[in-house]
Structure 1
């Protein structure tokens, strides 16, 4: 079939989907809106634009060109936001370094991605001092010196200090047009096995992700929304999946943005109140930490909307948040998906549902975003029934999914086997289209010939009074193959003490009603002080299995 291409006037502008175009609206409609750092520094979108240009001029003087990789090690800050724009807008590649990795892993990711310019916050100088002789491609360091810090630059040969570099350069820069498929960002996954793997995204992918997620978040009738009247503060590290893409959305909408720096519970809550924060996103660990710190009992959180991702939102945590007035709901994605694939936003008419049903829906994996093609397939890539019972692996297509792993074609081929991105997540879909993850493939427990969902049992145990956090893992058993073990963190107040017997009886009650299999009742309940987490705050079940096997 012969294609009939649309003609174009020679002088027409083709408008490539480039990150720089996300700045048009805020500069024209909200130039005086605030961007705040730790409640101590604040400036307008006009100043943001000027600082982006100053940063680009400074980086150009250090030799940054089209295709150069520039890496950042910083807390969540206005500086990071500037890098989100300036570096890719130059045609360079931004690598967001996961500062919670080990020193060896940080050195590996910097070398593997070919970083030439490295921006380093004062707090991470000891890390760079320890690994600087192992960095193979870095030729210039820029020091991010925090105001009031007494740290020295140690033995690192810095070419400039961040604020001094911006002050010395012009607030004007002619950011060029180039192919929208140019790589804009790279960062590394934080799996529990093997070396970190690099995922990468183009300007086109990031712009499409921004537009689509912005539309999805604006779509509900009320609640679970993000709009121009909101005040945004990330509680997901900016090194991780572009802080879920939300800084790009917040900037495109021209809303007030608040960047908290290092996460300190009392300071985070103070910022929510003092700056009027209404929208955030985080892993469940962070929300749990905030709800249980002393300051939480005295602040009004009723205007706060929070998306929980990076792991399941348990019914117990959702109820605790809703009781404080927080409009909490789940989001789903992964490093490889930029990250958003679905959101658990209530459908019109859901206001009439009772609280238990609303909690159940808010904790689901959600409904796919526009343009997202999600399938639940069996081992032969055949679709399973959408009956809320049949389960299979989630595979996906969307315009913003990473097209492979950086310099790792074999892993990329495995990721995209059969033309769909494989998530390694096991899920079902009900007749209303709601997606529900039941486990990671590697976390499913097979006991007595039946598949047991660790997430389902965690949900049930989280509802038991006295339980703060819970993780369910499988350990080998000669008779049953595997059996579930519940690792429980008690609530610190001790007001509602919970015992091993209490938890087993609580889960057994659901089994006796036929709601779960009898094999799902944990035979062992172990109380622990804390649950091991990965570098991005997820429960590290691989580590837990190894420790408690």
Structure 2
């Protein structure tokens, strides 16, 4: 018979895993640690806790109740950080609005989430003025003037800082069910309306603890821990800025929020505040490197986790050469997002620079509490030999349980009791995960499969290539053929032979089949991207197929 607890003491505290408890002890250990917003000032963690209480009080005064949705349209800021805590801590639901969506899409997501109170930065006043008439459920809007001197819009109940200054910091936060909904945001797929993804308090707390453990207590690279200065470069509307504001706040780190992403401001904040850790998509890393060169900012020692899309070996090597500590992370909107991140091998295991780049840009290990498999169409697990391929499926305590109001898509997501990523992957005997391609992006030519990600990696190595994407296009003879769409570096002249050069070298080594050689390229000025910075392959297929 299994052992059982003795009868608990009458006064024993039942500790719910709610976001409020991420703040436990933070004022004691980091009360004077600073939270910075651009050049607009800073305050300590004592002030943060007070401002969280004030925000909850003002929202309550506007009619916010447990279970209601409060939506935020803002740049990365201390205000957003306050909303990350105050809204779910009072039992309401935080909707992080993707400000890069069209006004019609934003209206759709606000209606779908039943948002009733909006916090709106002045840069997005025109959007709100356009869509408010179609959203009768909205009962109050708070204007974020962010230092602007314009008059308040007629639809605003007041200005954020003024309302917060008049509100009480002593909001009576109480315990409630840890499985209560805490956050919601909407993914921007390439087809159909955005899908609502939601997470509970328990899921967010467990994700925070697992992410902190992975960054600070393993060989994961780069690390994040006590003594770091944190600046997010992933939008706070996108998957909780990868969950790391919660980690940084729980650890009591100095935090720097850049607002709208501007290379000069980012580099200025890096230099002024000694930023040591950030995370971003490859496009932003490219922007940071170019901005630092233009303003003569030293990037040495800056740790960055790169995700959202593949970190090419060329970009990884360039960042390492500048003294940065970079490594890839893996996740998706539905996974909260962290599932795995790069792991640093010892120098003895790295036989050369290429091995180091491969380890940091192309492979990851799972964070704690994650189970993964690669499976075929019948859900049969495939060997973890580094060669066998299958769809990556996952289990973890923080994966979204459903899409809001879309039962069919939810059932497809969780077919067979595992979350389906739609990513083709390999797993080796050491548990290292390598993402090979997306199911929808694999190229089938003459009955054989080619990985678009592998081809993109090689094309990006060609002389004079700034960026590249490889897509499948119809072919009468072979069914499909790969097409490389490339952006040249300034002043570079590209040709099919130049683009094929790294592919030819790979073919001669037996690393790539001969039918992978390109017979067509397209040169464009800029690759189209989705609202979260990923290359929009659907747009490319529509344009070039």
Look up the match of 1:540: 536
The 1:222/1:185 distance shift into structure 2, 3 A limit, reads: closer
Counterparts of residues 40-51 of structure 1 (less than 5 Å): 40-51=40-51
Look up the match of 1:376: 374
Superposed displacement of residue 65, structure 1: 1.0
Matched, 1:334 2:320: no
Superposed displacement of residue 523, structure 1: 1.3
CA separation in 1, counterparts of 2:298 and 2:25?
32
CA offset digits 1:274-294 (Å, max 9, x no partner): 111110001111111222236
CA separation in 1, counterparts of 2:382 and 2:64?
50
Look up the match of 1:444: 442
CA offset digits 1:285-316 (Å, max 9, x no partner): 11112222364561111120011111111101
CA separation in 1, counterparts of 2:348 and 2:129?
55
Look up the match of 1:25: 25
Superposed displacement of residue 150, structure 1: 4.0
CA separation in 1, counterparts of 2:212 and 2:2?
36
Look up the match of 1:187: 185
CA offset digits 1:449-494 (Å, max 9, x no partner): 21100100111122223211110001000111111111111122x3
Describe the SS at the equivalent of 1:13: coil
Superposed displacement of residue 347, structure 1: 3.4
CA contact (8 A) 2:26 2:45 kept: yes
Matched, 1:305 2:303: yes
Look up the match of 2:125: 125
Look up the match of 1:461: 459
CA offset digits 1:220-253 (Å, max 9, x no partner): 4595110111000000000000000000000000
1:362 corresponds, among 325, 348, 360, to 360
Describe the SS at the equivalent of 1:363: helix
CA separation in 1, counterparts of 2:200 and 2:93?
9
Look up the match of 1:144: 144
CA separation in 2, counterparts of 1:423 and 1:93?
26
Counterparts of residues 242-321 of structure 1 (less than 5 Å): 242-293=240-291, 295-296=293-294, 298-321=296-319
Look up the match of 2:61: 61
Superposed displacement of residue 3, structure 1: 9.4
Structure 1 unmatched ranges of 5 or more: none
Look up the match of 1:102: 102
The 1:463/1:219 distance shift into structure 2, 3 A limit, reads: farther
CA separation in 2, counterparts of 1:242 and 1:422?
21
CA contact (8 A) 1:269 1:295 kept: no
Counterparts of residues 144-543 of structure 1 (less than 5 Å): 144-147=144-147, 149-155=148-154, 157-220=155-218, 224-293=222-291, 295-296=293-294, 298-348=296-346, 352-492=350-490, 494=491, 497-543=493-539
Worse overlay, 401-410 or 253-262:
401-410
Superposed displacement of residue 14, structure 1: 1.1
CA contact (8 A) 2:221 2:341 kept: no
CA offset digits 1:4-60 (Å, max 9, x no partner): 566422210011011011111321101000000003210000000000001111011
Describe the SS at the equivalent of 2:157: strand
CA separation in 2, counterparts of 1:402 and 1:42?
34
Taking only aligned residues, the RMSD between alpha carbons, in angstroms, comes to 1.6
CA separation in 2, counterparts of 1:528 and 1:3?
67
Describe the SS at the equivalent of 1:136: coil
Normalising by structure 2, we get a TM-score of 0.97
Superposed displacement of residue 160, structure 1: 1.7
The 1:109/1:452 distance shift into structure 2, 3 A limit, reads: same
CA contact (8 A) 1:439 1:454 kept: yes
The 1:258/1:351 distance shift into structure 2, 3 A limit, reads: farther
The 1:6/1:295 distance shift into structure 2, 3 A limit, reads: farther
CA contact (8 A) 2:350 2:356 kept: no
CA separation in 2, counterparts of 1:152 and 1:466?
50
